[in-house]
Structure 1
Amino acid sequence: MKKIALFVTFLIGFVAFGQNTIVEKDLMVFQPTESSKKLNKAYSEHMFFGLFNVKPFIKALDLDESKIKTITITNASNKKVAYKANYDATGNLLDFELTDEVATPTKVSYTYKDGVISAEAIARKGSEAKTNQFFYDQENMYVKNGNKLFDIIWLEGDVMLKKTYMEQKIGFEDRLMHDCRITKSLGQDINKICYSNSTFKVPFKIKEYTPDVAPKTERINLKEGPWSEIKLISQNKYQILRNNLPQFEVILDQNQRLKEFKFLGNKADKQQPLQFNFTYTFYK
């Protein structure tokens, strides 16, 4: 517990000691490029799978997402809706909703300008609604968050990287080295995720390093974890493994779209298996 407390104290202190600064108003320009659309997609896609910490593995699948109008994800056991998303005819995500089947009920909607996101409205049950504003210049996307944070976001390969500022002072900063995304704060690396490739193609592996704070020096050491991976086990059927043990299954339909997503359960933690089914409507 002491190590956790030290780490939390470290993170809270980043604002006061940030060295790099920005002038937000100078970055709040709206000059999107073609790469801005790819940034939008990386930012907003597969939100449902982020709840299970498997979003990069889903990204690694070569999915056909063309002409989709709506996606509905239901709990197979009780038929209740867990997630629903709406898209426009060009494939832009208009809005999505998470229900209490999987998370705190949340609704997110997007406003577009010149073909890219200009605003993101978030309404989460029990929390104050907020709106994030989006800006673009060259290869960067800038997000002025409703919680007073300011993000600079860009892509290297398919890896999304970010710098986060508060009160115009640097707090967190990502960099990509040898296919590893490393997050730095207060001069120390506090998180590291390594990918088997930065283009997210199956077979695909991830290794995560977790922070461990030395009590006396408050120096952060990153502890290496095991590889996780997604692999094809039969036609249109994939498994996601951690510690060489299957944790999830993903089944695609004949059109290379998501059909089923299964959490295989965890007997040690008494977690029961879950299955989610996907249904679609399409534009003609």
Structure 2
Amino acid sequence: MTPASPASSPRSLKRRRSTSPTSLPLTPPLSLNDPDGAKILDRAVSVLLTAATALSHVTILYQSDHVARDGLLQAVECITKVNAAGGKIIFCGVGKSGLVANKLVATMKSLGIGTSFLHPAEALHGDLGDIRPNDAVLFISYSGKTPELLHLLHHIPESTPILAITAHTDIDKCPILKERPGAILLPAPIHELEEVSFGVCAPTTSTTVAIAVGDMLALTVAEALHDEETKHVFRRNHPGGAIGDKARRIEDVVEDSVCKRQKVLTSSA
């Protein structure tokens, strides 16, 4: 029998992908029993566990840390006052933080909170006109020292309230905020650097935590602004899609239940 060549030896075979859309795969598909498949699944679960751990840590922070708790209360008060005065909260960030900012703007709009997104580069080329006297600006920056934001800060009026979602837990150590009297810090730290967790410093855990802190802010502000009417405001602002349909059905069920209860109370009286 002719011995197998090194190229066909089981140990030398490597999983390869075909570049032709019509050709058959060179190796069987990944499966639970396949070593490569098991490795991928372990990696995937590790990513989810890391994110869950980070969210657990930031939850504890807002349960126990006076800086975080005070920052949230100040932020809610600031944004409600801005909205009551006819102003808006302007989110500002670049890169992945800019995408997080846009997501939070969309969430706040659906909840009836006056808001918009400002790109720092465009701001320096005319969009500074978007900042009005009754507005506030909220920066999103994990490092708290994004050059574009630091440059923009010098062109924002001193009377404009400044807030920031950043990894810092001490306002005096956050470059974006430390030189601005009355600035508001919303800490969004992660328990472990992404480069340590995943071997690459791509924003992953940090953006997850930033979104969570932003959602926390949006929902608490909405409750402060609308009280029991938040769901009605959301239904009015989000009539389309499956979410809009679900919101209508839930509200119809609640209204029907209230009507039935009133009829029972009336008849018993």
Q: Which has the larger radius of gyration?
A: 2
TM range (shorter): under 0.3
Higher strand share: 1
The alignment's TM-score, normalised by the length of structure 2, stands at: 0.24
